[in-house]
Structure 1
Amino acid sequence: MNVTKALNIMKEQGFKYTAKREELLQLFSDEKRYLTAKEVLQSLQKNYPGMSVDTVYRNLAIFEEMDILEMTELEGEMHFRFSCSTTAHHHHLICLECGKTREIETCPMDWLNENVDGGFEVTGHKFEIYGLCAECKRAKQREAAPA
């Protein structure tokens, strides 16, 4: 996903263009990681000091409904990022420290679908793996190292 494609999706679905919405989308394009509504609000309030958290949540929800953004829950809080541009089935590794993600093509559902009996039909799933990216892991190791 990119800003131009997201704005076109908005237009096709009858939502009006605003500079605030474009800036919100540009933030996700620039960050390339999961962001909380609080992080989005803090960033946008620089140019729009009167913006409310309700406005941010409302737009994040709209963008998620339009498949512009993906949402995950980390430690009880919703986090959002641009939807992946690939249409191939995949899952994500998510760094709990910085929010960066990495796509993985392996799907544990392949094994499950082959080994579940009883006629259960899986109609959807979401699989995410949480941990630390190499950069955040090194930073934590440096912090923990004796001086």
Structure 2
Amino acid sequence: MNLNDAIKKLTDHGYKTTGKRKDILTYFAESDGYRTAKDLLQHLEATYEGISIDTVYRNLHLYDEIGILETTELNGEKHFRINCTHHHHHHFICKDCGKTKEISVCPMDEVESSLANYVIEDHKFEIYGLCPRCKTA
């Protein structure tokens, strides 16, 4: 999803596109990987003096709820990234820097055969470790 798609999705759901909301979307659209609420807050503080963590979390929750952002949990903390729904794939996620690498392999064929009498509604497959840059640091 790019910035224009994210803004359209926000307005399609009846939400105003304020400068602050555009800045949040731009931050994630330009980020390569998952980011925390703290990362976003630090970024926004330069422009919005006195911005509260509540404002940041409220917007992150909204974007997650309407499908603009996707989330994962790393080291006990929720991380966010722009939703990339253009095709089915999964991610390798670096536990140090949050950078992601797309994985096209999906284990669902095998899982579905072992759960023949179950209804699978959704799935998420993530691999965690260190990217080449963090591994050598």
Q: TM-score under structure 2 normalisation?
A: 0.94
Q: CA deviation at 1:85?
A: 4.2
Measured in 1, the distance between the counterparts of 2:9 and 2:115 equals 38
Q: CA deviation at 1:4?
A: 1.3
Residue type matched to 2:37 in 1? Answer: A
Q: CA deviation at 1:116?
A: 3.4
Instruction: Describe how 1:1-147 pairs up with structure 2 within 5 A.
Output: 1-86=1-86, 88-117=87-116, 119-139=117-137
Measured in 2, the distance between the counterparts of 1:90 and 1:66 equals 20
Measured in 1, the distance between the counterparts of 2:136 and 2:98 equals 15
Measured in 2, the distance between the counterparts of 1:33 and 1:127 equals 16
Gaps of 5+ in 2: none
Following TM superposition, the consecutive aligned residue runs of length 4 or more in structure 1 with deviations greater than 6 angstroms are none
- Please give the root-mean-square deviation of Cα atoms over the aligned residues, in Å: 1.2
Deviations, residues 99-122 of structure 1 (Å, cap 9, x unaligned):
0111111111211112335x2222
Measured in 2, the distance between the counterparts of 1:89 and 1:110 equals 13
Measured in 2, the distance between the counterparts of 1:92 and 1:35 equals 15
> May I ask how many residue pairs the two structures share in their alignment?
137
Residue type matched to 2:98 in 1? Answer: G
Q: TM-score under structure 1 normalisation?
A: 0.88
Q: CA deviation at 1:128?
A: 0.6
CA contact (8 A) 1:32 1:82 kept: no
Q: CA deviation at 1:21?
A: 0.7
Of 103-112 and 90-99, the range deviating more from structure 2: 103-112
Q: CA deviation at 1:29?
A: 1.5
Measured in 1, the distance between the counterparts of 2:119 and 2:12 equals 34
Measured in 2, the distance between the counterparts of 1:120 and 1:49 equals 51
Measured in 2, the distance between the counterparts of 1:96 and 1:10 equals 30
CA contact (8 A) 1:73 1:79 kept: yes
Gaps of 5+ in 1: 140-147
Residue type matched to 2:69 in 1? Answer: L
